[in-house]
Structure 1
Amino acid sequence: MSTSNLPLADSPWGVIDPSPMCYRNLPPQALASELRHLSAARTIGTTHCVTFQPCLEAINQDRYDVQEWDLPSGKWTFAAVFDGHAGVKTVEHVVEVLPRLIRTSLTSALTPDNGSILDDLLGLFPDGSDAIDRLSDSEINSIINDFDSGGTNHTKVLRCMQGSTVLMSLVDSEGLNLWVCSLGDCQAVLGTKNSSGACTSTLLSSNHNGHNKEEVMRIRQEHPEDERDKCVLDDRVFGVLAVTRAIGDYCFKLPASYTERIFLKANPGFSHPDAVREFLSRNLTPPYISNQADVRHVDLTLREQKEHFLIMCSDGFVDLYMYDETRAGSLEYIAARWVSLVNLESDEQNEALRLLRDAIGGEDEDKVARNLTRRALVRWIDDTTVLVVRL
């Protein structure tokens, strides 16, 4: 079909797009098939998974991992969602390394992994900031842009420049304890269904971003009086970064000299280097971004005649509701909707896919088609990942 015959799509969140794009109408069966394909829907054990970015010109920077670990005490279940930003180097390193570190801790290994993101960077300049000051630009360039020798150092630098949020869950071998660890603005919701079929929802994650007044206050209190109004602008750290806690993002954690002498010389490096240079003058007493996670514990020993499941998602999934005026509400309200949808009888057995379908339009097939098949060079939906973990 030619583009001249295609309908014009407005914003998926109900806001008129000033440059509307074409999209394809699809019959119901093809629509469901396309959504399943684009979201890479699958089941790992008892966990239903989707990860979604319909814009074919954009790289999905979300990652997730689901594993079952045979440990001395029995089988433990691990699940995690990682939302990368500014690139994929940090998030890919995190999804490769962090689950292994946690499993190592659980099995009380004698030799811990020593390959942290920051240690890898500092190892390139063993004498610290003094060494950086002594090196010329050409010497630093030869160290960090080492493509002739494989680019290993360049990758280490990018991992520090880019970042990732973390949301992890862990269930013990007897299914009696659940731990949820959150760093950033992904969300975890515990759904509980009692013997009568009634469901309740409980938020188990924190919102570590500039919309959280407690987070903003924490950052401002950690810095001198004359810096407070410069730390968080327009609900973003330095007016740039939405999250207030993350792995990586060391231009917000290290002195400005590391960004000036190292990060800004990485090639390729920042997507918007001028924006980085603009906020460097505010980087006076780092760190401004924390890597301290929140951990919640749920006692599942009292779950007789109750059914539990855990919904884990990246912030893109929340945004699909928050920016839709027909369904927007508090996070608690949205979480209750998710839990009811998982509990709903449906022909769609993949519960994560069921949630994603609701988020992008539900029974409104035209809206779903717009969100799936728009022809655009830039993303119109944030990367979206959803896991439904049966406990």
Structure 2
Amino acid sequence: MIYFNVTNISLVLRTCLKLNHASKKYSFNINFQRLFGYAPICSRLIHTSKTNGQTQKDGITLLPSPQEVTLILRKNEFNKEFASGSVKSYDSNQLASNDPIEDTRSEGQCKLTPGILMGVFDGHGGPACAQVVSKRLLDYVAAAMLPTDIINTILREPQGALVDTYNDKIELINDLKTIYDNSFKEFLLELARTPRDELNVNTAMEKGILQLDNDLSREVIEPFYNNGVINQKTLSVALSGAVVCVSYINGPHLYVANIGDCNAVLGTLTDDNEWLAKKITKEHNSENFDELKRIWNEHPDDERKTVIRRDRLLGELAPLRSMGDYRYKWSTELLSKVAVPSVGDKAIPANYHTPPYLTAKPDIFYHRLSPKDKFLILASDGLWDMLTPLQAVKLVGEHMKGKVFYNPLKLPKKNIQLGDINELLLHRKESLKSKPKDRNAATHLIRHAIGGTEYGIDHSRLAHLLSLTPDVSRMFRDDITVTIAYFDSEFLRQCPA
């Protein structure tokens, strides 16, 4: 174990990381789930969100050892391999800063159509919205891709979820599950009533996202208008929010839907063995001037100074698009009736004159994969606050080279010559020099994001930052969620142009 005097923590606070106030989604902290004081929306959330490994002994701060740091970093890692298709495998991991963690992630194989869906969801105002969206959105998008005849079959013979998800550790409580099942059935009925000449992935992704966002609102409003009842659970989900980055990969076709400030980055290897980082998404925040112009154009000129203040929507919200966050979408009258009784007057933001101020409409990006495209990184802004896209791509590229050592040596063919075997062994010996500490590339990225320096990993820095209590930790870094999908170059090489 390593011992540090408690005063050393101030050195970390000054030098380890820049203060990252901009990463906080709200300019003030409202956790709607805690505010309402009811049971969580999830009955089961297996992965723990606590990162604090710090203990006290005789006035001395005892920090986690390298082995304990590794246990913390690997706690939520996951890997999945595929036998066919353009995606060979994926690695994922999460590291909390908030307690509970406000990030979620979801991945799954579409059951009735080809393709894999993967999403990263970064919540704010509590974890409720992100948790619910991660449980529901993949099915909404998958449904919007189905032809009408299959939807009619599903309505006659319900089949449950439309996506086989992996590593799903969130279980919604029963009363919410019933509400959500009814909403999804209504969505299927609407799809069945809307004839479509041809299926368009861009349109389907947008429709699924906007419909789910609309349902988050309707599930609060309808019971209120029908019988005067406000369901505090659905209200918590609607008032909290989440930014979203979802990819759909079908053969050589990659689609990414983005809302907010998560990002998708493609790792490409050139003919000269140089790594290139292609940033597919664009953040919806005040650094995106097109977003600022869009918002200014949607509201009167006399609101130009108030609609964006301190680089935030109405001076409060950092992302300029998100799911949920109905404090910025409902009318003042509706907020007064539904939200103010539970939250108080702060439910209505200052200078709130011409809502809605916020949209969940995604930007959809398309990229045709080539054999040079090796992997896709989906991550919440907790990672991108600490690493540039090129740094992340190079780290994953180096990890790909070094992790070869983890796999048992397999001879590529029978009757191989001794000289060829010697060449394989020399290559394996060379890869040992760059063997990464973590087999999971998402863990590798998180380790370098928090503890990396130009000279390598600094254990002291890493241990200190993993030991901070959540109320201090969130001043220095956000929750981090990373998913890395690896592509099969040979499969992509055989795809017709």
TM-score (norm 1): 0.79
Structure 1 unaligned blocks of 5 or more: 128-138, 145-152, 322-333
Identity of aligned residues (%): 26
1:209 maps to which of 264, 285, 293:
285
Aligned-residue Cα RMSD (Å) equals 2.6
Q: Give yes or no for the alignment of 1:370 onto 2:439.
A: no
Distance 2:471 2:259 in 1: 31
For 1:159, which of 221, 237, 250 is the aligned residue? Answer: 237
Choose which of 203, 214, 219 in structure 2 pairs with 1:120: 219
Q: In the TM superposition, what is the alpha-carbon distance from 1:229 to its structure 2 partner?
A: 1.0
Unaligned segments of structure 2, at least 5 residues: 21-53, 55-59, 82-88, 156-183, 188-214, 403-434, 488-497
How far off is 1:196 after superposition?
Answer: 4.3
CA deviation map 1:235-294 (0-9, x unaligned): 01110111110111111112112222211212xx4xxx56445x34x1111111111100
2:247 matched to which residue of 1? 169
C-alpha offsets along residues 88-139 of structure 1, whole Å, 9 cap, x if unaligned? 2221221111111111122332456437112212212447xxxxxxxxxxx9
Q: 2:129 and 2:97 mapped to 1: Cα distance?
A: 22
Q: 1:338 to 1:157 in 2, by over 3 A?
A: same
Counterpart of 1:130 in structure 2 is none
Asked which structure has the greater CA Rg, the reply is: 2
Counterpart of 1:284 in structure 2 is 353
1:340 and 1:27 mapped to 2: Cα distance?
A: 27
Q: How does 1:79-158 map to 2 (within 5 A)?
A: 79-108=118-147, 109-110=151-152, 113-114=185-186, 116-126=215-225, 143-144=229-230, 153-158=231-236
Partner Cα separation in structure 2 for residue 232 and residue 14 of structure 1: 25
Alignment of structure 1 residues 1-391 onto 2, 5 Å:
5-6=5-6, 8-9=8-9, 10-11=12-13, 12-14=16-18, 24-37=62-75, 40-45=76-81, 46-54=89-97, 58-72=99-113, 74=114, 76-108=115-147, 109-110=151-152, 113-114=185-186, 116-126=215-225, 143-144=229-230, 153-172=231-250, 175-266=251-342, 269=343, 273=344, 275-277=346-348, 279-280=349-350, 282-300=351-369, 303-304=370-371, 306-321=372-387, 334-344=388-398, 345=402, 346-347=435-436, 348-362=438-452, 363-375=457-469, 377-380=471-474, 381-391=477-487
Equivalents in 1 of 2:269, 2:479: separation in Å?
Answer: 29
Question: How many angstroms apart in 2 are the aligned matches of 1:35 and 1:44?
Answer: 18
CA contact (8 A) 2:340 2:346 kept: no
Compared CA separation, residues 80 and 2, structure 1 to 2 (3 A): closer
Say if 1:23 and 1:373, in contact at 8 Å, map to a contact too.
no
Q: Secondary structure at the match of 1:114?
A: helix
Amino acid at match of 2:357: Y
One-letter amino acid of the structure 2 residue matched with residue 122 of structure 1: I
Please give the per-residue CA displacement for 1:161-181, whole angstroms capped at 9, x wherever unaligned. Answer: 111111000111xx2100001
**Cα distance in 2 for residues equivalent to 1:158 and 1:308:** 40
Q: CA deviation at 1:155?
A: 1.4
Distance 2:320 2:465 in 1: 29
The CA distance in 2 between the partners of 1:89 and 1:25, in whole Å, is: 32
Give the distance between the partners of 1:69 and 1:261, measured in 2 at CA: 40
More helix by share: 2
Q: What is the rounded CA distance, in whole Å, between the counterparts of 1:30 and 1:212 in structure 2?
A: 40
Structure 1: distance between partners of 2:346 and 2:292? 21
Do the aligned partners of 2:380 and 2:482 also contact (CA within 8 Å) in 1?
A: yes
Q: Deviations over 1:21-50 (max 9, x none)?
A: 98544443333233212xx11213311111
